Structure 1
Amino acid sequence: MAIWQVVRAIPAVIRESATRAGPGSRLGTVLVVLAAAQAVVAVGLSLTAPGTYRELIREDGPVEAASALWWFLAAVIALGALLLPVVRRARSVLAYGALAAFFVVSGGEEISWGQRIFGFAGPDAVVEINKQHETNLHNIGSISVYANLFLLLTLFVFVLWPALVVVRGGPARLATTRRLPVVTGHATLVYLVWVAAWIIVGVRSGTLGFHPFSLWGEYTQLDDELFEYGVAQSFLCLVVLDLAGVVTGTRGGARRG
């Protein structure tokens, strides 16, 4: 399979969900619009009010707190879905359970498991080898390695996997038989909106990417927190739209909006 087939499938993936009528499609449109509005504000502040923007993305600031909130809200929705008979009939229990666990871990890591919120010191064995002396795993060793691996993971989930489902029968059959959550075109759009915002801020500040370098001497993480916020919101949209598809009976084995 040529990579070009996958690349060409991405617009079709988005267009399919954007043109499908129904509750899931309308909800998806609302989520995309909300994400786009937030991204425009964030980029605008980074360009016109850098002091305000820095305050928003500072450690333990509003953006980081909101990122954790999206992760935990997504976990609550995924866990709540396990109580619904329709989810059990769709044989999606394992998928939702795995998603809930992933969301809890991601949210906990985002706020260092509440270390600064609740004021506990954390295990010495972890804190001593942590780059920022925090109670989390993602800052152990190279922060850049973890962050770039997470970037690749999100690109796979929101871009490559949906495109593969469209152009290849194997991934589509796997999604059907395993009842994997469906990444709708709207969820992909939310993700791409935040990737675009991340790129604009990163290029403008000379800090694009997950690394310790800055072309213009700016704070190297001016773009990082924005990406993390956008990814958390994208996964929230993924689980909300997938659950909407299950409940309304419009979730298919490949892709439904």
Structure 2
Amino acid sequence: MKNLSRIEVFGYMFLIITFVNSLYFGFTDASLFNEHYAQEDGLVENETALMLLLVSVLSVYHLIKLWKFKKPLWKVGTLIFAILFFFAAGEEISWGQRIFGVESSEFFLQNNAQGETNLHNMVVGDTKINKLIFSQILMIVMVLYLVFVPVLYRKVRAIKNLADTFAVPIVEWRHTIAFIVCTILVSIIPADRKWEVYELAFGIIFFLIFLNPLNRHIFQKNDAAEQ
């Protein structure tokens, strides 16, 4: 494993501090954890939005820096990630609705589980979009991406070429280990809003993945893979 950059060290320290605080508050004061630490628009949720936004900004940086050196499909993939993580950051804080004191429209008041201006809390019939897509489906996708794709990338040439062509960062095993450890730690926290911490962990880990992935050559001017 290559030496970690200072930013990566800071990222892992942030992840560790997050879980030290979460475990302490979660076990000693569930009320404080739920109503302040991990509340709506609280510290954890805002940190999650910030980490997702940083991934988007990093993707835009790569796009601008390497525009002249990369092929169209690489640009498409990088742009998609920039938009995707920007959208996720906006959704996390309901697009700044409470920050700027903006009232929800009648549509969101009637169709959003929390009456907020976002899509992930929408309710269709009796189904909560957040539970179906952002919890169940997304978790399956994350497990595939963080556990199985790294193996396929190393073993299957077609998967490797596809990922590199569309600028899909492939996780290092340290990222996978961090994901597994975070999953175990979150599962033992007794506080109800512990999954907000899980979302923050995802945000931090994804920033670390995009910062220095296994196929780090996709973010270099020379496209040749490292031997």
Q: Is the 8 A contact 2:169 2:216 kept in 1?
A: no
Any idea what SS the aligned residue of 2:206 has?
helix
Provide the residue aligned with 1:107 in structure 2. Answer: 89
Deviation at 1:90, TM superposition (A): 4.5
Any idea what SS the aligned residue of 1:72 has?
helix
Provide the residue aligned with 2:19 in structure 1. Answer: 39
Summarize the alignment of residues 1-257 of structure 1 with structure 2, pairs less than 5 Å apart.
20-22=1-3, 28=8, 31-54=11-34, 55-85=36-66, 88-91=68-71, 92-141=74-123, 142=128, 143-146=130-133, 147-201=135-189, 205=190, 219=192, 222-242=193-213, 245-246=216-217
Deviation at 1:244, TM superposition (A): 9.7
- Sort the Cα spacing of 1:188 and 1:251 in 2 relative to 1 into closer, same or farther, 3 A: farther
- Sort the Cα spacing of 1:248 and 1:186 in 2 relative to 1 into closer, same or farther, 3 A: farther
Instruction: Report the TM-score when normalising by structure 1.
Output: 0.72
Separation (CA, whole Å) in 1 of partners of 2:222 and 2:180: 24
Task: Single out whichever of 89-98 and 51-60 deviates more from structure 2.
Answer: 89-98
Deviation at 1:99, TM superposition (A): 0.9
Deviation at 1:243, TM superposition (A): 10
1:103 maps to amino acid: F
Cα-Cα RMSD: 3.0
The aligned length equals: 217
Deviation at 1:182, TM superposition (A): 2.5
Deviation at 1:23, TM superposition (A): 5.3
Unaligned runs of 5+ in 2: none
- Sort the Cα spacing of 1:88 and 1:28 in 2 relative to 1 into closer, same or farther, 3 A: farther
Q: Is the 8 A contact 1:36 1:190 kept in 2?
A: no
Unaligned runs of 5+ in 1: 1-19, 206-217
- Sort the Cα spacing of 1:228 and 1:194 in 2 relative to 1 into closer, same or farther, 3 A: same
Instruction: Report the TM-score when normalising by structure 2.
Output: 0.81
Task: Single out whichever of 56-65 and 90-99 deviates more from structure 2.
Answer: 90-99
Separation (CA, whole Å) in 1 of partners of 2:178 and 2:27: 21
Deviation at 1:30, TM superposition (A): 5.5
Separation (CA, whole Å) in 2 of partners of 1:149 and 1:35: 24
Q: Is the 8 A contact 2:186 2:195 kept in 1?
A: yes
Deviation at 1:250, TM superposition (A): 9.5
Deviation at 1:27, TM superposition (A): 5.8
1:44 maps to amino acid: Y
1:237 maps to amino acid: L
Deviation at 1:248, TM superposition (A): 6.1
Deviation at 1:29, TM superposition (A): 5.7
